[in-house]
Amino acid sequence: MRRGLIIILSSPSGAGKSTLSDRLRVWDKDIVFSISATTREPRDGEKDGREYFFKSREDFLKMVDNQEMLEHAEVFGNLYGSPQKPVSNAIENGQDVLFDIDWQGGQQIRNSVLGKHALSLFILPPSIAELERRLNSRAKDNHDVIKNRMALARDEISHWPEYDYVLINNDLDKTENDLKTIIKAERLKLSQQPRIVDDVRNLNNEFENR
């Protein structure tokens, strides 16, 4: 059995990160999406442990103090973070945990106790004009929101050198295939193959017994 990977997928809004995340999870059921903890109130239909782990602010901060969060941040007065234990359990069970997060969250995870299992990928748009076109074509946000997303994109893109792999998403199918190739290769790294030591030991025993 292999160890699982922490797959960190980052990009500016509109570069295709969410679509690629969905495709990866359809491709391989051993890729599970990370469930975050939050201090915000549950919305209608949300269930604890499914959409989020809902925590009181006191309990959340206690987890941070006990180093039980891989990453965390405060957004509009609410705390969000990734509990370490579910991720650690998934890794030991050979499941890959997918994080659709920004560069700051990715940096925290890479510096965490589970950072050695992290695979970080940054998705770039083919051009800034194309990025803006995609944001407008989604028809989800008003002009001011799109303008704000474009302003944030420049800062987000500046962090591309911090990642293990950088892909330019000018063809969604090709980018998806490239992601699959990278993940397959990373799964075969020695750090993800805990039984290799036993396998080599058995081979050496065979030499001794010849």
pLDDT tens digit string along 46-99? 999 988 999 999 999 999 999 999 999 998 899 999 999 999 999 999 999 999
CB 15 within 8 A of CB 123: yes
Q: What is the pLDDT of residue 138?
A: 75
Q: Which amino acid is at 142?
A: N
Return the closest-CA partner of residue 2 out of 88, 90, 94, 89.
94
Q: What is the pLDDT of residue 32?
A: 94
**The CATH number of the domain where 113 resides is what?**
3.40.50.300
pLDDT tens digit string along 25-38? 999 999 999 999 99
CB 169 within 8 A of CB 123: yes
Q: Does any domain span residue 110?
A: yes
Q: Does any domain span residue 205?
A: no
∠ at Cα 204 (201, 205), nearest 5°? 85
CB 193 within 8 A of CB 40: no
Averaged pLDDT, 4-13 = 95
Q: Which structural domain, as residue segments, surrounds residue 169?
A: 6-34+94-200
How far apart CA 202 and CA 207 sit, in angstroms, is: 9
Q: What is the pLDDT of residue 173?
A: 97
> What is the domain count for the chain?
1
E strands, 23-106, where? 31-33, 37-38, 53-54, 69-75, 78-83, 96-100
Q: What is the pLDDT of residue 1?
A: 79
Whole-number average pLDDT of the chain:
93
Q: Does any domain span residue 42?
A: no
Q: Does any domain span residue 56?
A: no
Q: Does any domain span residue 145?
A: yes
Q: What is the pLDDT of residue 170?
A: 93
Band (pLDDT 50/70/90 cuts) for residue 177 is very high
Q: Which of 138-152, 160-174, 193-207 has the highest mean pLDDT?
A: 160-174
Q: Does any domain span residue 49?
A: no
Residues 6+ apart with CB under 8 A from 39: 54, 55, 56, 57, 60, 78, 79, 80
pLDDT above 90: residue 204: yes
81: β partners? 37, 72
How far apart CA 68 and CA 89 sit, in angstroms, is: 13
Q: Does any domain span residue 169?
A: yes
Band (pLDDT 50/70/90 cuts) for residue 172 is very high
How far apart CA 68 and CA 14 sit, in angstroms, is: 31
pLDDT tens digit string along 94-145? 999 999 889 999 999 999 999 999 999 999 999 999 999 988 887 667 888 8
**Pairing between β-strand 6-10 and β-strand 78-83 as defined by DSSP bridges:** unpaired
What the block records as the tokens of 93 is 């069970």
Q: What region does 98 belong to: left with phi over 0, alpha with psi -120 to 50, or beta?
A: beta
Q: What is the pLDDT of residue 146?
A: 87
Q: Does any domain span residue 166?
A: yes
